[in-house]
Structure 1
């Protein structure tokens, strides 16, 4: 009995690990690190979605929509990547590392797999029944949710980010706000970009 439970635990641990690594690969492809921007505009512009733990934001947001939706979505991404590879449509070499097909793809090929999903070319026969009618909508929203998480206060919640929403505390100023010059929420404040500010001063 114990050995059976241990086996189930191992499957669960692997599923959770692969889900997280799939979403890490996804957000890395959507908003990568930008060393060239950092050279031009300062170190603050270096950081990407993976640095701000947006994979966690994506998983939590999907599962708030429907329990286990993140796991099913990760499976969908891996099926798309597998078929992309089988059809030799990936443009860069594949590097399998035990984390699933999607994370084995180069970042640009991950986005290619996503675009093919959006065209309804790839589906997963293994998706759970509750998700079969909604996963195309989820595909459309994956990039949007990633962008929302990146420019939200998510990373600033620090150690409280995984708590219930009413228990989260903004522990520090999110770096993504600094990247775009957003001063943070201020009652009655109207944000102007740097060009508008210069024109106002003149």
Structure 2
């Protein structure tokens, strides 16, 4: 009976030690599982964040492309208006040149009529009529020349304004194009990172 009593404490120690070892092993497994779960959770979160950034970059790139297309339309419209304005300027220059030639001719006719008035006393009435007619033509030509000169000045100012707008639009277009290119590069880089991460 004493032998049995002596054996029991030893058995209890073995069982307690075995139970402690089992708890430690289980705790180690749970810690490893928790660590694995944490690594997987971090990877999933990282992939989700990268995907969100890639989507944002892609959206920004599309928006930049839309703005670039709009700017290009404005640029093309301004270029067309500049071409049309330059054509009008050329036409006004030709008309002004023609008006100047007509004015010179009318002036010569007026001078000739004045000389005829002095030389042809017998034909004074006819000479006066020719002089009055020449004066009217000269006045009309000078008025026409003044109008053409005014139109030419307005057209030249318009061309100057359009050229400044064209220059500004080209600069804005270049900046927008660079921004769109950077946005597309960022989107491509984000996509490549996601593809690389997935592999």
TM bracket (short chain) = under 0.3
Query: Please, what TM-score do these two structures have when normalized by structure 2?
Result: 0.21
Q: Which has the higher helix share?
A: 2
Query: Please, what TM-score do these two structures have when normalized by structure 1?
Result: 0.21
Higher relative contact order (CA 8 A, sep 6+): 2
